[in-house]
Amino acid sequence: MRFALTLLFVSSLVAQHADNGEAKWADASGLSVETVHRLWRSISHFADERDDDSQIVLLDTQSLAARNQWLMVTAAGLPTCLTITVFSKAAGNPQLWSEASTPDGNRFCETVGIKPEVTVSKVGIKPEGRILVKAPIGMHSAHASHADVAEYEYAWAGKTYTLYYQEVRLQFVPPSERPK
């Protein structure tokens, strides 16, 4: 009886978050809704999932498949900030790497109308399986028309991902998005 009640409770929690996109990501990735939910929960910093406002914005089961890895990106908060996590396809899907902030301690957050982005180069294509994160830093100067956008490239180092390359580029910001 206790097992049935626990199963019913867990199923209701999974169903609650499946309405928030987990079912969509399960369909797109080929994973079960339960697996998607478990991966999402393992990233969460909240003991009670009802307190967690994070949403899955990317679940990629193909780009790192040659390494038997999955990539999940979640977004939460205001401004929206990203957390990037790589899981192993091994039993229990342990986290191999997770990053929510830049090497200098800033978060990967939306600012001045520019959203952070995460892309992956496919394994077998040079550079192989690197994770590229682009995140705005802020306006280049007080009266500038462009923002500084940092690009961080993370490469597989055998057991985890490490920062491989970093640079800052300028990106135009429409006048309506510029600070007043």
15 within some domain: no
C-alpha pair distances (Å), 110 with each of 18, 79, 139: 25, 6, 12
Give the pLDDT confidence of 53-95 residue by residue, as tens digits: 889 999 999 999 989 999 999 999 999 999 999 999 999 999 9
C-alpha pair distances (Å), 4 with each of 1, 8, 10, 11, 41: 5, 6, 10, 10, 21
CA neighbor of 40 nearest in space, from 64, 57, 27: 57
154 within some domain: yes
User: Which structural domain range is residue 96 located in?
Assistant: 55-177
Give the pLDDT confidence of 116-132 residue by residue, as tens digits: 999 998 655 566 789 99
Work out how many domains the chain is built from and give that number.
1
121 within some domain: yes
147 within some domain: yes
100 within some domain: yes
Whole-number pLDDT of residue 177: 87
**Residue 6 in this model has a pLDDT that exceeds 60:** no
DSSP assigned state of 6: H
Whole-number pLDDT of residue 90: 94
**Residue 169 in this model has a pLDDT that exceeds 80:** yes
8 contact partners, CB below 8 Å, separation of at least 6: none
**Residue 104 in this model has a pLDDT that exceeds 60:** yes
48 within some domain: no
24 within some domain: no
**Residue 141 in this model has a pLDDT that exceeds 90:** no
130 within some domain: yes
